[in-house]
């Protein structure tokens, strides 16, 4: 008799869970009593279920052994015989006796159907005991727990990369290969990716973003998003909550991924280098952002409200806030309001005269890191100083490191002076020039 058709007649006296076989109930009860009589032959690992020990031995100690699917056209491989047996059953459609009432999904185990149904109902019965994370499956909670422990047992044998999950290591291994196997099939798009995940993200962000259903709405503003996790992170921008704290410094963040990236500063050198300049960073994502922002002229991320187009999704997201009237970040000195917290942070330094970014070659210091980078690369010491700067004036021979500088310069040609002094009525073509002028009044006082 197939296992799926057996009636569940054996009930747990502690949690009332039902089992079709008594041996499964006995293993389950040992879990309540914390009894682990079955021991691994290679290490100190123990379990309340014998088959779990076999799976552990194959996955951890016998991982060089590979089990291949016997089907001719199937390339599935795994390190455990149990996983292979489960996979082989997927080829036999007669085993799929459980059907979803909402979509065409079928399964050969009732538990798989129950798990699938949560994608329709949105139910997340499994919770993390340390934070507000919830999931549809218990194994997702177990995977999530490593964000609290920081454990990274899986290490790359080609570099210093380590991670919390075996699947992440498999994905990382592909980054060492110069194979771009996945190409975008949208017309006139030449994008290629090493990973299927990268291609999927590209399609969503570039080609299909307007088709996404944003069903999670913020109660503070008009923002909506595609997932509850994104909404949870967004709400923290309103509440100021930053539950993820670094145990080595005062850094805190509203997202666990930001904390993981931050911790690399304490433990890792900047080993990932740009092949076009001297820039180095801790992650491939930071390198990609650097290349898109500095070395690429393509602006694929178009604002739907104005003609602005950004080089990265992050830049566009930041730009969109300029269309919002909501300015949550307030200066304690002059009560001026800002859309972005980083803009407020830079503004506060105009009150405190703090200039934390210092040039290693001369006494120059800056309020913002971008100003220091431009000073080093274009204005003072860098090799790029001798190169033609990318933003040229169409009226004279001047060229500039940034578009903002070029646009400000052009105003000196056309006589536009939009920045007025409140004290004497003098007007200036740039905000910087007005700032220098205001200081003359402050010196008089």
pLDDT digits (tens, 9 = 90+) for 348-387: 888 887 888 888 778 888 888 777 877 776 666 655 455 5
pTM: 0.34
DSSP H or E segment with residue 115: helix 110-121
Contact 107/113 with Cβ under 8 angstroms?
yes
Give how far Cα 18 sits from Cα of 9, 15, 118, 244, 253, Å: 6, 9, 20, 39, 43
> Does residue 6 carry a pLDDT above 70?
no
| Residue showing tokens 């909404």 | 231
- Across the range 290-298, mean pLDDT stands at 74
Question: Looking at the 3D structure of the chain, how many domains does it have?
Answer: 3
Contact 91/71 with Cβ under 8 angstroms?
yes
- Across the range 99-120, mean pLDDT stands at 83
DSSP H or E segment with residue 263: helix 256-267
- Across the range 260-266, mean pLDDT stands at 75
What pLDDT shows up at residue 221? 78
pLDDT (tens digit per residue) in 124-178: 888 887 777 888 888 888 777 777 766 777 788 777 778 877 777 877 877 777 7
d(CA 416, CA 322): 23
The structure tokens listed for 58 are 């194959």
Q: Are residues 239 and 311 in the same domain?
A: yes
Q: What are the beta bridge partners of residue 126?
A: 135
pLDDT (tens digit per residue) in 391-442: 788 888 887 766 777 777 887 888 777 788 888 888 887 777 777 787 777 6
What pLDDT shows up at residue 325? 61
Q: Are residues 341 and 308 in the same domain?
A: no
CATH code at position 273:
3.30.160.60
At which of 283, 317, 351 does a domain end?
317
Contacts of 112 (CB under 8 A, 6+ apart): 98
Residue 269 included in any domain: yes
Closest by alpha carbon to 268, among 282, 283, 287, 258? 282
Q: Are residues 359 and 438 in the same domain?
A: no
Mean of pLDDT over the chain: 78
d(CA 339, CA 329): 6
At which of 317, 337, 372 does a domain end?
317
- Across the range 256-278, mean pLDDT stands at 75
At which of 278, 297, 317 does a domain end?
317
- Across the range 62-85, mean pLDDT stands at 77
């Amino acid at each position: 008799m197939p296992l799926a058709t057996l009636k569940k007649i054996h009930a747990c006296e502690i949690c009332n869970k039902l089992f079709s076989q008594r041996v499964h109930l006995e293993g389950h009860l040992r879990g309540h009593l914390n009894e682990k009589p079955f021991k691994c032959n290679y290490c100190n690992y123990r379990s309340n279920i014998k088959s779990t020990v076999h799976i552990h031995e194959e996955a951890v100690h016998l991982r060089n052994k590979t089990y291949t699917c016997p089907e001719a056209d199937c390339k599935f491989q795994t390190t455990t015989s149990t996983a292979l047996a489960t996979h082989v059953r997927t080829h036999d459609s007669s085993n799929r006796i459980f059907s979803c009432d909402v979509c065409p999904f079928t399964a050969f185990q009732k538990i798989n159907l129950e798990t699938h149904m949560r994608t329709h109902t949105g139910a997340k019965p499994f919770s993390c005991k340390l934070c507000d994370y919830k999931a549809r499956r218990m194994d997702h909670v177990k995977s999530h727990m490593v964000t609290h422990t920081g454990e990274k047992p899986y290490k790359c044998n080609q570099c210093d990369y380590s991670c919390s999950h075996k699947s992440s290591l498999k994905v990382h291994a592909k980054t060492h290969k110069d194979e771009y196997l996945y190409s975008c099939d949208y017309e006139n798009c030449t994008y290629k990716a090493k990973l299927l995940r990268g291609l999927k993200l590209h399609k969503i962000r570039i080609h299909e973003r307007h088709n996404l259903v944003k069903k999670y709405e913020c109660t503070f503003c008009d923002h909506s998003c595609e997932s509850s996790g994104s909404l949870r992170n967004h709400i923290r921008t309103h509440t100021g909550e930053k539950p993820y704290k670094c145990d080595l410094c005062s850094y805190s963040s509203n997202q666990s991924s930001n904390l993981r990236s931050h911790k690399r500063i304490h433990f890792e050198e900047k080993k990932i280098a740009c092949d076009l300049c001297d820039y180095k960073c801790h992650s491939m994502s930071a390198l990609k952002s650097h290349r898109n922002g500095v070395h690429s002229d393509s602006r694929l991320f178009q604002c739907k409200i104005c003609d602005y187009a950004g080089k990265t999704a992050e830049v566009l997201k930041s730009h969109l806030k300029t269309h919002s009237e909501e300015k949550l970040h307030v200066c304690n000195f002059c009560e001026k309001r800002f859309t972005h917290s980083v803009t407020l942070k830079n503004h506060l330094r105009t009150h405190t005269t703090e200039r934390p970014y210092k040039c290693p070659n001369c006494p120059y210091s800056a309020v913002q890191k971008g100003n220091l980078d431009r000073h080093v690369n274009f204005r003072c010491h860098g090799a790029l100083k001798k190169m033609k700067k990318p933003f040229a004036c169409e009226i004279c021979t001047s060229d500039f490191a940034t578009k903002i500088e070029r646009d400000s310069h052009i105003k000196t040609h056309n006589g536009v002076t939009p920045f007025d002094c409140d004290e004497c009525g003098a007007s200036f073509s740039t905000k910087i020039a007005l700032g220098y002028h205001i200081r003359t009044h402050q010196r008089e006082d």
